């Protein structure tokens, strides 16, 4: 079913599912434009977590009593829901605390044992620090070098330069699906295809893609894909790493402990099969129950509908912001998510964000965990308004009015 053919969605009713959006801040209605930082939670997610602790709380995979079975079923049910959402196999999905852990898992269990002096890793200018720092740490320990794929003036990858970097010594290409600063949507399917032709493994950071657009990891053709649950309206401390089965089978455990073993003797340990050999200790059970509820919620709305809604909000916001004197938007990619990084001439990003907060508007200011990207643009920080399907056109109007008000105060 195409978006045009789909039944209309009452977005006002959808917004009412999110309790926090009814509150006031500094005596003003909350306008939450920071969903790239963390997504707000619908009542269904909050209630799922509450219900687990009230009625089903037990550890997973350890007890035969009723509560233990219920907890295990709910936890593994969340894994299955997430696998369907991403179009991957359950046995290839490692549940973890989020994208940062997922990338570090690949860095230490896959890359560290394989990389040698003279090898190289390719990253892009627009990466979050979580997709830079782990590779720097591995590079320091292995003698590997890091190459950087640059962007053009619109915030798009220079694909010709990127492909020129994919020389025989490159063993891994790690890149974001959607930039958390610019909103740029990278053509990851094409890029992964080019890397695979050259025998280069690929890792895609999907933190900003999973909450906002339909995903088909099998079609992307990468080797690893990482997501974060709290950005897709799930609880904090949840996420996942998808990896090809041959990689999971070959990778040694990253963290040792209970539940990631088949048998332990002092002479040696037999580890569980992947993904469980990477899931040591008691997991965030209630969090994943909540993430399962979040996946149900997003799936019921339909990711294509969410994408279309957010694209409409983005177009409206871009038009409204174009009327603000002295405002500069960073990132005007042909395909981008509903993320707008900006500065206003003569005003510091933190001052703008602080004064906007007094008007009830929540945006983020700073380097957005993307120092190299800030260095590229020659600025220490930007403001970032990131929209979600639960936002409204009226909120955008109020945001622009507040922005004009604080702009005059700072002039």
If we measure between CA atoms, which residue out of 151, 105, 145 comes closest to residue 125?
Answer: 151
CB 81, CB 292: distance < 8 Å? yes
pLDDT value at residue 199: 98
**Furthest CA-CA distance within the chain:** 72
pLDDT digit of tens for each residue in the chain (411 aa)?
233 334 589 999 999 999 999 999 999 999 999 999 999 999 999 999 999 999 999 999 877 899 999 999 999 999 999 999 999 999 999 999 999 999 999 999 999 999 999 999 999 999 999 999 999 999 999 999 999 999 999 999 999 999 999 999 999 999 999 999 999 999 999 999 999 999 999 999 999 999 999 999 999 999 999 999 999 999 999 999 999 999 999 999 989 998 898 999 999 999 998 899 999 999 999 999 999 999 999 999 999 999 999 999 999 999 999 999 999 999 999 999 999 999 999 999 999 999 999 999 999 999 999 999 999 999 999 999 999 999 999 999 999 999 999 999 987
pLDDT given for residue 7 in this prediction = 56
Measured distance CA(66)–CA(159) in Å, rounded? 55
Residue whose structure tokens are 């896959």: 110
**Predicted local confidence at residue 259, as pLDDT:** 86
Give the three-state DSSP class for 312.
Answer: helix
Q: Which of 96, 192, 369, 383 is catalytic?
A: 369
Place of tokens 């740490």: 137
Residues 6+ apart with CB under 8 A from 26: 357, 358, 359, 360
Please indicate whether residue 369 is annotated as part of the active site.
yes
pLDDT of residue 64: 87
DSSP codes of every residue in 46-98: HHHHHHIIIII---SSS--SHHHHHHHHHHHHHHHHHHHHHT--GGGEEEES-
φ, ψ dihedrals at 191, nearest 5°? -65, -45
d(CA 151, CA 309): 27
In which residue are the tokens 């320990």 written? 141
């Amino acid at each position: 079913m195409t978006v045009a053919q789909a039944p209309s969605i009452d977005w006002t009713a959808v917004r009412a599912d999110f309790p926090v959006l009814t509150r006031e801040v500094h005596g003003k209605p909350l306008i939450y434009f920071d969903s790239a930082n963390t997504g707000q939670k619908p009542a269904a997610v909050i209630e799922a977590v509450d219900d687990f602790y009230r009625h089903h709380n037990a550890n997973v995979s350890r007890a035969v009593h009723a509560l233990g079975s219920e907890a295990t079923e709910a936890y593994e049910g969340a894994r299955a829901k997430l696998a369907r959402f991403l179009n991957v196999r359950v046995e290839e999905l490692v549940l973890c605390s989020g994208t940062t852990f997922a990338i570090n898992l690949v860095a230490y269990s896959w890359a560290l044992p394989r990389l040698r002096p003279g090898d190289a890793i390719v990253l892009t200018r627009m990466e979050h620090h979580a997709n830079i720092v782990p590779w720097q740490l591995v590079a320091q320990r292995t003698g590997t070098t890091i190459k950087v794929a640059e962007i053009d003036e619109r915030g798009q990858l220079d694909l010709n330069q990127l492909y020129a970097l994919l020389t025989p010594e490159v063993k891994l290409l790690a890149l974001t699906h959607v930039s958390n600063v610019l909103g740029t949507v990278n053509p990851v399917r094409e890029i992964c295809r080019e890397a695979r032709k050259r025998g280069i493994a690929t890792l895609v950071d999907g933190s900003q893609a999973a909450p906002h657009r339909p995903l088909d990891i099998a079609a992307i053709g990468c080797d690893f894909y990482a997501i974060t649950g709290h950005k897709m309206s799930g609880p904090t401390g949840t996420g996942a790493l998808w990896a090809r089965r041959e990689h999971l089978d070959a990778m040694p455990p990253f963290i040792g402990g209970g539940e990631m073993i088949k048998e332990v003797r002092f002479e040696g340990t037999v580890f569980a099969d992947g993904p469980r050999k990477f899931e040591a200790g008691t997991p965030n059970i209630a969090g994943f129950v909540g993430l399962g509820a979040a996946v149900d919620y997003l799936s019921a709305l339909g990711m294509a509908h969410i994408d279309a809604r957010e694209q409409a909000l983005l177009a409206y916001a871009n038009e409204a912001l174009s009327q603000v004197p002295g405002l500069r938007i960073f990132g005007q990619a042909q395909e981008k998510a509903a993320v707008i990084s900006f500065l206003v001439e003569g005003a510091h990003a933190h001052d703008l964000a602080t004064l906007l907060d007094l008007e009830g508007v929540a945006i983020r200011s700073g380097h957005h965990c993307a120092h190299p990207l800030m260095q590229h643009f020659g600025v220490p920080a930007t403001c970032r308004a990131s929209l979600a399907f639960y936002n409204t056109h009226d909120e955008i109007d109020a945001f622009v009015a507040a922005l004009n008000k604080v702009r005059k105060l700072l002039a």
